[in-house]
Amino acid sequence: MQIGYVRVSTNDQNTDLQRNALNCAGCERIFEDTISGTKSDRPGLKKLLRTLSAGDTLVVWKLDRLGRSMRHLVVLVEELREQGVNFSSYVITGGGFLPLMQIF
């Protein structure tokens, strides 16, 4: 199953662009946070991570929507890989999705 995650930093922003991209990618569920990426307590992300299982693909619009830092992102993607979860980002490929396990 493809499961998406969207995040905006403030209530003044909206997730429409991210959600549209993830819907086009075939995401069956999308989890959301409205909180700064520097915050480690992101309820939507925590719920998403509890939902994922082996064979699923976590899809984000951009890498910075998921990780607080490059280090955090690499650690998180490695943890997903160990659980058998794939990871894909839309913007890194300029409009198409790429399994990021090929990059890391």
Q: Which domains are delineated in the chain?
A: 2-102 (3.40.50.1390)
Residue type, 54: A
**pLDDT tens readout for residues 56-96:** 999 998 888 887 677 888 888 899 999 999 998 877 655 55
Decide if pLDDT at 102 tops 50.
no
User: Count of H helices and E strands in the chain?
Assistant: 3, 5
Backbone angles phi, psi at 33, to 5 degrees: -130, 145
* pTM score over 0.85: no
Q: Are 48 and 1 contacting, i.e. CB atoms less than 8 angstroms apart? A: no
Q: Dump pLDDT digits (tens) for 34-60.
A: 876 566 678 999 999 999 999 999 999
pLDDT in tens, 11-26: 778 889 999 999 998 9
Active site members: 9
